[in-house]
Structure 1
């Protein structure tokens, strides 16, 4: 499968404490070589967090569903499931 890569250039303005915090984390004394590397890492971490939250919600829903008594289940057709999910 072929994957297209898109590059986006962004401008972000920081001042005061935020600017100082970024400066302390970038360069010779920081954990990142440059600001772009730092921002990419922050975005990756936030993406991972969002994906983990979605997985945790799904896992909790499935746990509730499998814990329900057998009598609470109702047979549905595929059309009924699709209609229910659209609602």
Structure 2
């Protein structure tokens, strides 16, 4: 599996620049700006994945709470057709 590398240029000024500078280097939590940005992106990715999982859990909880009489059998073809119609 190959991994693509993307080079980005980000310009910061004022308070944002000062904030990054305070978090990078000898007295910061990160050795360099790239490490800091990668960590921010990883955390954002994890947060979005957790949000998606929580939405799925909520939908499943709601579905399992429905009375059994409200369920009706569907074939795979019916599920596929229903999902195509929703798209």
TM-score after normalising by structure 2? 0.94
> Would you say how many aligned residue pairs link Structure 1 and Structure 2?
85
What is the CA–CA distance in structure 2 between the aligned matches of 1:46 and 1:82, rounded to whole Å?
32
Q: Corresponding residue for 1:38? A: 36
What is the CA–CA distance in structure 1 between the aligned matches of 2:39 and 2:69, rounded to whole Å?
48
Question: Which runs of no fewer than 5 residues in structure 2 stay unpaired?
Answer: none
The RMSD of aligned alpha carbons is 0.7
Residues 16-64 of structure 1, C-alpha deviations (whole Å, 9 max, x = no match): 1100000000000100000000000000000000000000011110111
Aligned-residue offset at 1:84: 1.5
- Residue 8 of structure 2 corresponds to residue 10 of structure 1: yes
TM-score after normalising by structure 1? 0.94
